Structure 1
Amino acid sequence: MKAVVIHQQHDLRIEERPVGEPGPGEVRIRLRAGGICGSDLHYYHHGGFGTVRIREPMILGHEASGEISAIGDGVPGLAVGQRIAINPSRPQGDCEFVREGQRQHAMDMRFNGSAMRFPHVQGLFREEIVIAAEQAVPVSADTPFAEAACCEPLAVCLHAVEQAGALVGKRVLVTGAGTIGCLTILAARLAGADEIIATDISDAALAIARAVGADKVFNVANDPQALAPYAHAKGQIHVAFECSGSGPVLASLLPLVRPRGTIVAVGIGNDVTLPIGTIVTKELVVRGSFRFDAEFALAARLISDRRIDVRPLLSAQIPMERAVEAFELASDRTRSTKVHLTFDGVSP
């Protein structure tokens, strides 16, 4: 069984890894598509991010879909040949956060393709994998594999939108029009946002933002003052989603958001000092949004039914044997939004 393994920065190899038979409560999945995420790119280009570093060879990937090839004992409701998306989040134990329904904050969390723990939690970019049955989330039989592999990033964005409260009739700003920004646009529209504005420094990214439903787009590299009119009369934005991971961009949102408005920080990036006086006097809500939980199953339903159409984000599907080529393409925001690896020579 072949897998895509990172050893250190710019050292990505296709290697053999064993796969066993599923035990009780487990299923074996034949992978068909795997989406390259920003964290995968950090491992590829930098050997990690922040204090999280590659300390042993690790299979990359946490966005993936495939079909069930074998089922262990005691697994109801699933069938061989069924198409599924893989939920990479595996909260363990019985800590207070799990008991309170905040499973994404479990004290003992295993997340596929993550070097936060040691030994690292191996990822999903491999031809076959045995997983817990609860990680196999069904999609419809006609859902393309590349679309199904978008369930994980969509779940992140559904969770972010949940943090903002009601969006019906609201003016929404999304800063950063990469995969997460564009999926946030789709999720915000589904939640009833009346007007959605998107910003980025790439015209190519903004074209995708427009394609998925942004009403207005601004290239803030070409026009740094493009959002200035939205600061009029204490601010014109009801909810802002910061998806670029830029601390200065987050700080720049405070004048734009109206009193009692909300800023949701989705992207993780550099730190920044915020003006506490503005937050207090405008009674702003500044919230973080981290991963997801129940939203994964919702993402699978929305993609299966095409109530959320992720096709405009899909840039390329490249066989896993050409993983380096795929990672280089995924690194170029002028040419790609979401690049998928394919497995077993099967097109997603």
Structure 2
Amino acid sequence: MGRTVTVLGAGRLEIQSRAEVPRGPGEALVDVVYGGICGSDLHYWRHGEVGLSVLADPMVLGHEVAGTVREAAADGSSPPAGTPVAVHPAQTCGTCPPCREGRENLCPHLRYLGSAARRPHTDGGFAERLVVPGHRLVPVPAGLDLRVAALAEPASVAAHALTRADVLAGGVRGKQVLVTGAGPIGLLTVALAIVRGAAEVTVTDLHPRPLRTAGRIGATRTVTAGEELPPADVAFESSGAPSAMAAALGVLRPGGTLVQIGQLPGGGVTAPLHVTVQRELVISGSSRFAGGMAGTLATLERHRELFEPIVSAEFPAEQAVEAFAAAYEPASSSKVLLRFGS
């Protein structure tokens, strides 16, 4: 693996050197170029846990990874050497009922790069070189910079939330959309709602900078959290704040749909659920994403101008502590990338 960004416990982040693991015939070796810092990475760093996933051992972080194939899989399952790729971070069983139904994101045996949900933990992709099953490497479209391709995983998470709205609300085309929380996932949701033809997209956040970014990528209206919101047909709650969930429920029109993307507090929340009855509102969770990332990468390539502003900074991997500190400040950053190679 070479140099890695490894969390040892709450507040303890180190650059470590690790030996490369042996490769099987179905595995490829990838030179990592960019890794995006996710909220879960920040939680492991700050608190040593994410929800019920608690660090018991040192773990390499990172699941938003893009790079170049250094050595292809011997069985031909990967793209050839030299191919720019995004790494699909999920490993699933493929045989359980959710997997057979195309909902592999709900697989009870799921493992995700950089996750302490199981022990031994699953090391992530914040490393110079990464051994990956060949079928989990997705070629990056020609002309798409790896800096933007590093958004493929979180953009797929946002795209899955839009797919939930397709299933439950008939999509967002021609509709009034609300996005609460203008962090990276919220901004990606804004961009994808615009791509999918939303009539108007309103975004709310606590801080001016992410709201300005939302405006740059095409949000119709930006509102400081706590101020009055316009009515919405479909709402995407990406902040994980109970007050944002309550605000979204409060402005949904009759028959409206709320898709909850942000992780709500583990102890439960108090929300005005009584309004769901008289207005026949639909509430759905949205967890990670199902399927591959090829479609998301194609969207990133076709609409680069919507996604490029979401990357707010990049740091060399050696400055991981500084990068994590920057990513932890939502008032001044959006998506922060670690750079491992050229």
1:287 to 271, 284, 289: 284
Matched residue, 2:207: 202
The 5 Å alignment of 1:82-101 reads: 82-101=83-102
Distance 2:319 2:259 in 1: 37
CA distance in 1, matches of 2:211, 2:273: 31
Contact 1:186 1:308 in 2 (8 A): no
Note the 1:108-127 alignment, pairs <5 A: 108-127=109-128
Report SS of the residue matched to 1:164: helix
Give the CA deviation at 1:113: 0.3
Distance in structure 2 (CA, Å) of the matches to 1:141 and 1:252: 42
Judge which range, 21-30 or 171-180, deviates more: 21-30
Most deviating of 293-302 and 122-131: 293-302
Question: Could you say which residue in structure 2 is the equivalent of 1:225?
Answer: 227
Cα deviation code 1:42-64 (max 9, x no counterpart): 11111113332111000000001
- Report if aligned partners of 1:159, 1:295 keep a CA contact under 8 Å in 2: no
Amino acid at match of 1:89: A
Which residue is equivalent to 1:216?
A: 221
CA 1:157/1:41 → structure 2, altered by over 3 Å: closer, same or farther?
A: same
Name 1:190's counterpart in structure 2.
Answer: 195
> 1:312 maps to what in 2?
309
| Percent identity over paired residues | 38
The alignment status of 1:269 with 2:264, answered yes or no, reads: yes
Structure 2 unaligned spans of 5+: none
Q: What's the counterpart of residue 253 of structure 1?
A: 248
- Retained in 2: the 8 A contact 1:92–1:110? no
Aligned position for 1:330: 327
**In the alignment, structure 1 residue 105 sits paired with structure 2 residue 102:** no
Q: Report whether the alignment pairs 1:178 with 2:183.
A: yes
* Offset at residue 136 of structure 1 (A): 0.6
Aligned mates of 1:74, 1:95 — CA distance in 2: 26
Q: Which secondary structure does the structure 1 equivalent of 2:249 belong to?
A: coil
1:167 to partner: Cα distance: 1.1
Deviation at 1:295, TM superposition (A): 5.2
Check whether the contact 2:62–2:126 (CA below 8 A) recurs between aligned residues. Answer: yes
Tell me the CA shift for residue 248 of structure 1.
2.3
Q: What is the CA–CA distance in structure 2 between the aligned matches of 1:142 and 1:17, rounded to whole Å? A: 33
Distance in structure 1 (CA, Å) of the matches to 2:114 and 2:306:
26
Q: CA deviation at 1:260?
A: 0.5
Query: Which secondary structure state, in structure 2, belongs to the residue aligned with residue 24 of structure 1?
Result: coil
TM-score by length of 1: 0.93
Q: Distance in 2 between matches of 1:225 and 1:35?
A: 31
Task: Give the whole-Å Cα distance in 1 for the aligned partners of 2:23 and 2:76.
Answer: 10
1:287-312 CA-to-partner distances (Å, cap 9, x unmatched) read: 11111122522111112333673110
Please give the alpha-carbon distance, in whole angstroms, between the structure 1 residues aligned to 2:140 and 2:32: 14
Residue equivalent to 2:155: 154
Which residue type is aligned with residue 191 of structure 2?
A: L
CA contact (8 A) 2:28 2:78 kept: no
C-alpha displacement at 1:316, in angstroms?
A: 1.4
Q: What whole-Å deviation, never above 9, does each CA across 1:57-104 have from its counterpart, x for those lacking one?
A: 000000010000001222256111100001101112411111111110
Relative distance call for 1:111 and 1:158 in structure 2 (3 A) is same
- Would the aligned equivalents of 1:172 and 1:195 in 2 still touch at CA under 8 Å? yes
8 Å Cα contact 2:61-2:114 kept in structure 1: yes
Alignment counterpart, residue 303 of structure 1, candidates 300, 306, 310: 300
Aligned counterparts of 1:14 and 1:141: Cα–Cα separation in 2: 32
Name the SS for the 1:301 alignment partner: helix
Larger deviation: 191-200 or 70-79? 70-79
Structure 1 unaligned spans of 5+: 231-235
CA distance in 2, matches of 1:76, 1:43: 33
Change (3 A) 1:308 1:114: farther
8 Å CA contact 2:96–2:107 kept in 1: the answer is yes
Q: Match of 1:171, as an amino acid?
A: Q
Give the C-alpha shift of residue 41 in structure 1. 0.5
The residue that corresponds to 1:240 in the other structure is 235
Question: 8 Å contact 1:8–1:44 — kept in the other structure?
Answer: yes
User: Aligned in 2, Cα 1:260/1:295: closer, same or farther, shift over 3 Å?
Assistant: farther
Determine the C-alpha separation between the residues in 2 that align with 1:282 and 1:226. 20
In 2: Cα distance, 1:116 partner to 1:80 partner: 32
- 1:69–1:77: structure 2 CA closer, same or farther, 3 Å change rule? closer
- Tell me how far 1:21 sits from its aligned partner: 5.3
CA RMSD of aligned residues (A): 1.5
Amino acid at match of 2:189: T
Tell whether the 8 Å contact from 1:302 to 1:308 is kept in structure 2 after alignment. no
